[in-house]
Structure 1
């Protein structure tokens, strides 16, 4: 496994760690492990840092793969999958904290599930489909919206006076829908292969 793919795997590994710090520790665990109380106090800040580092690693592994001419089919498949897992985990966290409507999370996660299934069908036809430019723009919008939403949560509350995170989340949702439709239409030959 090359370095770029190892970084992608690291991003996937950061997802459960992000959730560990983003969600509050249940009271029953605090009863037996009181030292975990620091997660409830500082976990949100730590989770934001982890999320930003994981999201930025997407650029790093892509750059390394191209620079070293080590673009592989495994990397083409795992890279967008890692992004989807990270975004889905953050959205679930925001829903859990009542900072995001469930229907918004369902639209974004549903789109990612559909596109991933679409890619799996393509693999069955011997085709490896990389993410397109619109998909990258969509991911950037999602990451910005999620970071802004996380920083708006109390006790951080950096954006409590102006709902900037809501504006970016709307942009992210629109880009999510449009990029998904565009991607499937552009690669409609995959669906034609299934219908036949």
Structure 2
């Protein structure tokens, strides 16, 4: 199967969209536009998975790159929000550290022919990150979201740490004897 399937193209679009999203996020007056672009780009994550399953286009490449595309987009935006003092450093450090660790685990296990696909907790982590970023974009317009953002930061931290622990514990069997 070629890597140039519709699901994989949607994944690449998500990666490429990071650049304009990163630039737009530096200016609050464009946050409403950025919000709508971000929602559309985030929906490609759901769409690529749906198409891959429905048309039997699921591939190891797609499973791996889908995760990388999410991390590129989300972590780039978290860094901009950190730089603009809209997120605390401890939060961004936890998210990025967890993502690098799990990506390293995935790469290590891929060398053992083990593909670590996203599970429910990883999807909850991505969903909570997506909701948090959407809320950050809407906060200048809907000021009441400021209080909600702190709760979203705590929830996202929980899902990130727990899903990282879950991936590690489920795959410890492959790390034995190393």
User: Is TM > 0.5 for Structure 1 vs Structure 2?
Assistant: yes
Task: State whether structure 2 residue 90 is matched by structure 1 residue 103.
Answer: yes
Q: Choose the corresponding residue for 1:144, options 111, 115, 131.
A: 131
Highest relative contact order (Cα 8 Å, sep 6+), 1 or 2? Answer: 2
**Segment drifting more, 108-117 vs 142-151:** 142-151
Aligned match of 2:164:
180
Task: Give the CA deviation at 1:117.
Answer: 0.5
Equivalent positions of 1:74-113 (< 5 A) are: 74-113=61-100
Equivalent positions of 1:1-196 (< 5 A) are: 1-24=4-27, 41=29, 43-152=30-139, 154=140, 156=141, 158-160=142-144, 163-192=147-176, 195=178
Structure 1 residues 2 and 120: CA distance shift in structure 2, 3 A: same
**Large movers: runs of 4+ above 4 Å:** none
Task: Give the CA deviation at 1:160.
Answer: 3.9
The 3-state SS of whatever aligns with 1:163 is: helix
8 Å CA contact 2:138, 2:145 repeated in 1: no
Task: Give the CA deviation at 1:161.
Answer: 6.6
**Segment drifting more, 60-69 vs 15-24:** 15-24
Aligned-residue RMSD, C-alpha: 1.5
User: Quick check: which has more Rg, 1 or 2?
Assistant: 1
Aligned match of 1:36:
none
Stretches of structure 2 lacking an aligned partner (at least 5 in a row): none
Stretches of structure 1 lacking an aligned partner (at least 5 in a row): 25-39
